[in-house]
Each structure stands twice: as C-alpha cells, then as structure tokens.
Copies of this chain bind each other. A is one copy, B any other.
Amino acid sequence: MLTLKQDNSELVVLSVLAAGASYGYAISKDIAARSDGHFKLSASGMYPLLTKLEKNGLVTTDWEEVKAAGADPDSSGRRRKWYTLSAKGQKQLERRIEMHRQMQSILDGFVLPASGNAHTESGLAG
C-alpha cells in the first residue's frame, strides 16, 4: 500500500475529477479501486485537500441533500458535497501532469544512470 503524499494526492484527485464531478468519499474509493488498492488517500488527507482546492478556485462545489426513499421530506438527510473541476483546475491539472512528467524523466536520470558513468568520487575537487 503506497500512501499518497500531498503533491501526488492533488494530481490524482484532479485527474479523478477530470473524468467527472465527484465527492470526497467516492473519490477516495475511486482511487483505491483504480489503483488496485495500491493507493490510499485517507479522509484526514482528503478533506483538507479538497478544501484547499476549493479555496484556490480549482474546483467548484455544490451540496446535495441525499434523501432516503421513504424519508421524512422535512429531515435534512445526508449531505454530500460535490466537487467539479473548474477551468482553472483543468489548466492546473495540465501543468501538474507536465511537472509530473518532467520530474519522472529527471528522476529516471538518477535511478537509471546511463551505463559507463560510474565513478568512485563525486566529481568535484576534493
């Protein structure tokens, strides 16, 4: 189980929302499902992140009152907060994806060093 750090959490959540509006609990389950259970984003990480996304204008929100079939029409019912990717959020997602690719390619330069570059010292003057 790989726990997502905030940077990757934001990328993943934004990606999930790019496929359509969703809400906290569903996003969390979606991430677990789409990663075969490898990724986990807990509630305590999810909600502060979604709040930040909203504050930064990357998503817009709407409350839905989920009424049970035979529920009292006067009862408030269960609240569900939907998150929709905004135009700004879409742009941010594209930026994030680009940064992610750049990070990956440079990181690969470290974890996949070209053959023949082995050295016993750092290369700087001792």
Interface residues of A in 2-25 (CB under 8 A from B): 2, 5, 7-8, 11-12, 15-16, 19-23, 25
Considering only residues 88-126 of chain A, those with a C-beta below 8 Å from chain B are 97, 99-100, 102-104, 106-107, 109-111, 113, 117-124, 126
A117 to chain B, nearest CB (A): 7
Query: Out of B30, B39, B66, which one reaches A122, CB within 8 Å?
Result: B30
22 A-B pairs, CB-CB below 8 angstroms?
A2-B102, A2-B106, A11-B107, A12-B107, A12-B110, A15-B111, A19-B113, A19-B118, A19-B119, A20-B118, A20-B120, A22-B122, A26-B122, A27-B122, A29-B122, A29-B124, A30-B123, A33-B123, A35-B106, A66-B126, A97-B111, A100-B107
